[in-house]
Each structure stands twice: as structure tokens, then as C-alpha cells.
Amino acid sequence: MKYGHFDDARREYVITQPDTPLPWINYLGCQAYFGIISNTAGGYSFYRDARLRRLTRYRYNNVPLDYGGRYIYLRDNETREFWSPSWQPTQNELQDYACRHGMGYTIIGSTYKGIEAHTRYFVPLDENLEIWQLTVTNHRNTKAVLSAFASIEFCLWDAQDDATNFQRNFNTGQVEVEDGVIYHKTEYRERRNHFAYFACSEPGRFDTQREAFLGRYRGWDRPAAVESGELSNSIAHGWSPIGAHQVNLELAPGESREVIFVLGYHENPVDEKFDPPGSQIIDKRTVKPLIAKYLRREEADAAFEQLRDYWEQTLGVFQVNTPDIHTNRMVNIWNAYQCMATFNMSRSASFYESGIGRGLGFRDSNQDLLGFVHMVPTRARERILDLAATQLPTGGAYHQYQPLTKRGNNDIGGGFNDDPHWLIVGVSAYLKETGDWSILEEPVPYDNETGSEQPLYEHLQRSFRYTLSRLGPHGLPLIGRADWNDCLNLNCFSDTPGQSFQTTTNREGKVAESVFIAGLFVYAGRELAEIAQRRGLAQEASQYRAEAAKMEDVINEHGWDGNWFLRAYDNFGAKIGSNECEEGKIFIESNGFCVLAGIGLEDGKALKAMDAVGENLATKHGIVVQQPAYSKYYLQLGEISSYPPGYKENAGIFCHVNPWVMIGETRLGRGDAAHDYYSRINPSAREEIGDLHRCEPYVYAQMIAGKDAPTFGEAKNSWLTGTAAWNYYAIVQWILGVRTTLNGLQIAPVIPKNWPGFTATRMFRGVTYRISIERKGSGNDIGLTVDGQQIEGSLVPVPTDGRREVGVTGVLR
Ligand code: BGC
Ligand code: NOJ
């Protein structure tokens, strides 16, 4: 069953039933101020860092699901009845409920007893605030006497501390109210120079103390103050500061009114915190004009139009028209949009990531660039330099860093031996997109230590060398804490309940090896060789090639199982992912990545491996991680075997790695198989099975339960997953074949046989390429004509005569 529909023309997903199987969320903000918002207005906001600068509270894992948010209530002052136009939290039966999740905004509304109300939530570009535009219309034929209430609950900044340190926090909460604006200033008196505010365009009453608003032992579904119809102008002292506004509205029949609320974050210079100086009153000189500006309707509308233009341009970098609507919709709208979210959030804040547990991942953020770099290359550049600055002098990496401090930490472990290579992959994607070679000269420190700066290029060299000094008994890379699969913990050996698989190490780590890292090493080594070659370092380039070739030999000798690539060797030197194993005989990662890297294309291994994946791992809902699933806990394998069969890394359909197989299939020239795999996990193509899939039909989920799971086909962990970038990269660069290279744009589609062709527009290094592909035979041989001239090969030359538009026609035979 479907819970809504796509409105592609407006780039929206329209949810028409509020009780979706899970909260279906969207992101507000795309630069520094962010929020998550569900289809019933649940969610929270933060500035830059979901853990350290949380503006509003949210309750995880709560009943009812998805509780706490940007709630608006309407009250009919004649009948005293009140309701929420967004359904939650009051859950009245509404008419015409609709939530439109769009690009950086969400509009939620409904009609109840003749009163229509909807709220448009968004974050203006370049501002650290969000606007809620509430429109209320009276469709009755009598006058309506109403009150509107808007509410949020402030978080005391550090979301982790806020959720745990009550003995202190029940005492620290402070607010100020001036000219009807509520200022949240907890800890402003001491070391903070930032505060939050919640303002309303209309005069009215307010509350800032949670208990005054909700009443004792009540929830957000039945606030006492809304029930009584009058807020009490309460001032919070400690406990839980909130922001609530009341606006009284009398609407004639047919009349509409708009009320604007602004929630924001503001910083003052450290020496200009108070006004007058020496007092304890917030200096509001710089914030007041901002608040006044966005409480004006024309300004709010103009900001919304700017946001629309921004997305029009951002998505305009690549647009495609294929015979498959699900491909078009994902590539043109939602997959690209999701890539923005993963770039901004990494794996920190979603309905499945609390914003507390994980910052920006080193491996994750580098891979996220694959799907993002074409949209805002300047931000990709900054991200690369930030990531590289957390690299350790050994070439190794912290597994994550906090966006606010930009410092690496070991909270979720370190010593994952694949990490350094992803930096090469990320930088290479950036160079291919932009041709900006200057980035390689940028001085970047190690571990953020001033004085340790080296050109970014040296960081890449160290990434590569990191593996050379960490080879195991077979000459394959030692796995360290784990590789891409965080749960393949071969040196962990944990038998203690509650111990973290991510930070526990009980073995020296001198034996367990990863074939996946070997494949990644070959891939990254060749990318680095190309970069070196282009920089005129021919000898260095051939060294990288030689190391890659040597590793390829090792893979052929010790990483091949006869019909597929092995996965790893464990701490005892025993094979993982081999036909000899009882469980976990074949894995997706090493097969996908080795073939993606071009290993075995010549000698038939790649073909065998992809066929074996198809036979053993592919299901109608996607390709599972391994088979057979681990039926019990294996001390020597770690977290992977901690999951019940079919879930997460234990034979779940980990969508992130499916595209490696899709790319592998394109390398074999099998466009039908590649696109078929693509469609199996494409959320839009799964919309009809909403009750099974359960997650949002407009974004990829990290995981779909595998065939061993009782809930085979059920998705989880939507939004923040490497799936976004990799699927985008696989469909755009390998299946559609519109591929960036260091030397320009390559056009080499490997599309399904029954596609008559496709058209696309790509802006690349300042030039717009209008591409039209026509199929005249069933193969993948391409003949290209560029602005009327036939060219050799598949690389479109970069125009040297100042042309800004280039027409490319391709014929596939
Ligand atoms: C999950 C992984 C995740 C890891 C690191 C594990 O519990 O299964 O998918 O990467 O935690 O936080
Ligand atoms: C999620 C993590 O964010 C990612 O880094 C990892 O590769 C996958 N899980 C697989 O374990």
C-alpha cells in the first residue's frame, strides 16, 4: 500500500496518511543550521553539530513514536476543542491531511471542522534560523474565534549531557522574554556566547516553563494551557525551558490569516555578550534586525523563493530523461537531495542516528563526496581539507570527528585499516569533477597539530603507504579493527556483555587479513598513479602501479576461492567467505569491490565472481552481504555474528554495497543486470510495497532485511547511508556512463538492452553538455559526435575555444 505519492513537477513527496509505518522525515537547512522534521512535525534543530549545539529536544525510542517537535495547536474558543493540524501530537481525525516534503522545506496541513491550516517550515539560505509560516483559513460560513499556539522545547545545548545530567541541568535553564521574543540563554552567563530564540509575528501571550504549558503529568497531546485557552507568561527558572506562543485569531467566513514563527540560533562576540555591559541581559543589537526581517511575510516568501532557486541550480548540474521513471526521479531529485543530506550529516542525525553517538565518519564522508562533489565543489574542497587534517601522521585515521570542533576522536574506535584509502577516493573524485589541482598543494596538518602541515598530496601518499607497512602472512592487508564492514571484528574476541565491538581489541592484529582492503588498495593505488602521472611524477606513478599489480597477484593467489573472491583470513589464518566455510561462504564486499577495481576482468575471475554473487546473494529485494547467514555468535568474527540472521551486516541487504556489484556488472558490459540490481533497491520502485518496505519511498535505506530474516524486505536506517552516494555514482557514472575523469567527461553507457536511449544535461567545469544517446544495436560500443564532429573513443574533449555549450550525440551498437 502507498501512503502518498510523488509530485515530481514540484519535487515533492506528498504523504496523505499521517500514521506512516515509521516517521517519514525530511531535512531543513543545508549549510550550518539544520533540522529534521517528520511528516507529523516531529523532530529537532541544531547548529552545525547535532550533539554539541542542539537547539531543541527530541525523545528517542519513545511511545508514541516520534514525539517532540515543532508543534502547532489550534483551539476553537467557542467549543474549546483543540487539535494539531499536523496530526501529532493530538491525533485528531483530520480531513485532507497532507505533508509535502520538498527540497529543504516541508509543508504540513489539514482541515478540521471547516478550519484549514498548513505550516511551511524551511531554513533560509545563509541564515541560522528556521521559519514556520502558518496559514489558517476559515471555510465555515460563520465567524471562527480561534487561538493558535506554537511550541518547542529547548535543549540545553549538549544533547548527550541534556539527556543524562539532570542533577545539574534542572538548575541551569534560563530565558529572557523581550518584545514578545523568547530567548533561551542557558549557560550564556558563563562560557557560551550563543543563544536561541523563538519569535512570533503577532503579539500575544507566551510560556517558557514546560510545566506551566503542559501541566503536571501531561504530555504534548494535551497541554493544560492549550486546553484552558490561555498561556500564563511563565518564566522558566531551571527545569525545562520551552518556547510557546499564543495568537488569537478571529476569522470571518472565507478569511485567511498568516502567522510567522522564527526559531533561530545566534552568536555574539565574546566581549559583547551583554547590554548594558556588566549586566546579565543578552545584547540583542545584531539579532533583533534579523528577527524583524523574517517575521515579515514578503521577506519570508522571498527567502523561500531563493531556496527554490538554489535547488533548481544545484539539481540542474545533472538531469536525465530515461525510459524509467524511478531512475529519473531518483537521479534528478531525491537521490541527489539525499546526497546533500549525507554530506551534511554524515551518519549523525536522523530517525535512526541520535545525533549523539556519531559525528562525521572519515570513511563515510570521503565516500559521500562521490555523490555530492558535482553539486557544491567548494564545500567538497573544504570537507576534504577538514578530513585530511584529522589524519594521523602514520597515514591512519580517526574513524570520526565532531563537525563543531573538527577534531578526530576515538569514540567509535580507530585503526580501521581501510579508512586511509577512502581519502584517495574522495580527492580523486574532487579532481575529476573540478580539475582543481591546487588542492593537492594545500598545506594540511596531521591530527590538527599546528606545525605538522604537509601538502594534501603527501597525505595521499601516506594513505597509500599505510597499507604497505601493514601486510599480513599472505601479503594481504591486515584488517586492523575492521574494514568497510565495521562488524567484521577479527581481532576483537569479545565475550563480555555490553563491551563495544567497535573499541575492543583482544588480539595483536598481526594475522587477520582483508581481501576487501586488498581490492580497495588496488583501486586507490591506480587512482593515485593517475594523479601522480598527471603531476609529471612518472616514476612515482609506475611505483604505485607496480604495488597495485603486486597486490593483484596476491589476490589472485591467496584471495581467490575458485568461483569467487575470498573475504578475509581470520586471526587463526582460517578463510572467511570460502566454499570451505560452513557459514559465510561468499560475501558481497570483496567480490563487488575487486571487480569494480577491474580485478579479474581479463582472466574470467570477474565474470565468475559476478555470476556467483547473482546465484548466491541476489534476492528480489537486493543483494545480501553474505550467505549462509551466521546462525550463532562466533567469537573470532565479532559483531557481524551478533546480529540475528538477515539483519544488518549478518546477511542483510546492505544497500551501500549493492552498487559495487552494479558497477562490477557494467565493467562486464551487462547493463541489464546492473540496472536490474539498481531497481531492486530503488525506493521509488518499492513505493507500492510500502507496508513491507516501511521506510520513506523517496530515499535509500541503509539496510533491507535479507532472506534469512522473518521480515525479508523490510527497510531500516533510511537517509544517512553511503548508499546515497554509491547508488548515485553507479547509476550516473557507470550505467548511464556520464563519467568524470581527470581528462574530461567520458560518455560510456552500459544501459539495459531494451532502452531506446536517453538524454541528459551535465554542467561540467563551466560547460553545459547536452547529451543524447540512441541505441541502434544491443551492445555497448559507443560512437560519439560532438557538436557535429565525430570523435574517436568515449572521452569528450574539453572545449578550448570558449564554447559554453556542447552537444554530444552517442550511438550505441
Ligand atoms: C553497525 C554498523 C556501524 C557500526 C559503527 C554497528 O553496530 O552495525 O553498521 O557502522 O555500528 O557505529
Ligand atoms: C555503517 C557505517 O557508517 C559505515 O562506515 C560502514 O562501512 C557500514 N556501516 C558497514 O559496516
CA of 133 to the centre of ligand 1 (A): 38
Nearest C-alpha neighbor of 324 from the set 770, 755, 753, 771: 755
Is 486 labeled as catalytic in the residue annotation? yes
Q: Residue 358 CA: which ligand 1 atom is closest?
A: 12
| Pocket residue to mutate for ligand 2, from 353, 362, 364, most atoms within 8 A of Cβ | 364
CA of 407 to the centre of ligand 2 (A): 20
CA of 489 to the centre of ligand 1 (A): 11
The protein residue whose alpha carbon is closest to atom 2 in ligand 1 is: 486
Instruction: Give the ligand with the smallest distance to the CA of 503.
Output: 1
Tallying the residues shown for the chain, one arrives at: 813
In this prediction, residue 357 carries a pLDDT of 87
Query: How far apart are alpha carbons 455 and 441 in whole angstroms?
Result: 5
Alpha-helical segments (H) within 249-361: 287-294, 297-316, 325-329, 335-345
In this prediction, residue 411 carries a pLDDT of 87
CA of 480 to the centre of ligand 2 (A): 15
The protein residue whose alpha carbon is closest to atom 3 in ligand 1 is: 486
Contacts of 486 (CB under 8 A, 6+ apart): 416, 502, 639, 649
Is there a contact between 756 and 323 (Cβ–Cβ < 8 Å)? yes
The protein residue whose alpha carbon is closest to atom 7 in ligand 2 is: 484
| Pocket residue to mutate for ligand 1, from 398, 486, 720, 723, most atoms within 8 A of Cβ | 486
For cell 503536571, name the residue.
216
Q: Is 673 in the pocket of ligand 1 (CB under 6 A)?
A: no
In this prediction, residue 403 carries a pLDDT of 87
What grid cell was written down for 521? 588498495
| Pocket residue to mutate for ligand 1, from 362, 499, 502, most atoms within 8 A of Cβ | 502
Q: Which one is catalytic: 486, 561, 570, 708?
A: 486
State the number of CA atoms in the 13 A half-sphere of 671 facing the CB.
21
What is the H or E stretch that residue 757 is in? strand 757-764
CA 674 to chain centre: 24
Query: How far apart are alpha carbons 210 and 225 in whole angstroms?
Result: 10
Query: How far apart are alpha carbons 361 and 82 in whole angstroms?
Result: 44
Nearest C-alpha neighbor of 602 from the set 566, 549, 529: 549
Pairing mode, strands 618-619 and 43-47: unpaired
Q: Is 648 in the pocket of ligand 1 (CB under 6 A)?
A: yes
Contacts of 776 (CB under 8 A, 6+ apart): 811, 812, 813
CA of 1 to the centre of ligand 1 (A): 31
For helices 658-667 and 605-616, angle between their N-to-C axes, nearest 10 degrees: 140
In this prediction, residue 464 carries a pLDDT of 98
Convert the pLDDT of each residue in 743-778 to its tens digit: 999 999 999 999 999 999 999 999 999 999 999 999
Rg, Å, the chain Cα set: 28
What is the H or E stretch that residue 529 is in? helix 515-534
CA of 488 to the centre of ligand 1 (A): 10
Residues of the chain with pLDDT under 70: none
Query: How far apart are alpha carbons 430 and 524 in whole angstroms?
Result: 14
Q: Letter for the amino acid at 74? A: L
pTM above 0.75, yes or no: yes
Query: How far apart are alpha carbons 378 and 460 in whole angstroms?
Result: 20
Q: Is 342 in the pocket of ligand 2 (CB under 6 A)?
A: no
- Return phi, psi of residue 6, to 5°: -80, 140
Nearest C-alpha neighbor of 509 from the set 478, 484, 465, 474: 478
The protein residue whose alpha carbon is closest to atom 5 in ligand 2 is: 364
Q: Which residues pair with 68 in a beta bridge?
A: none
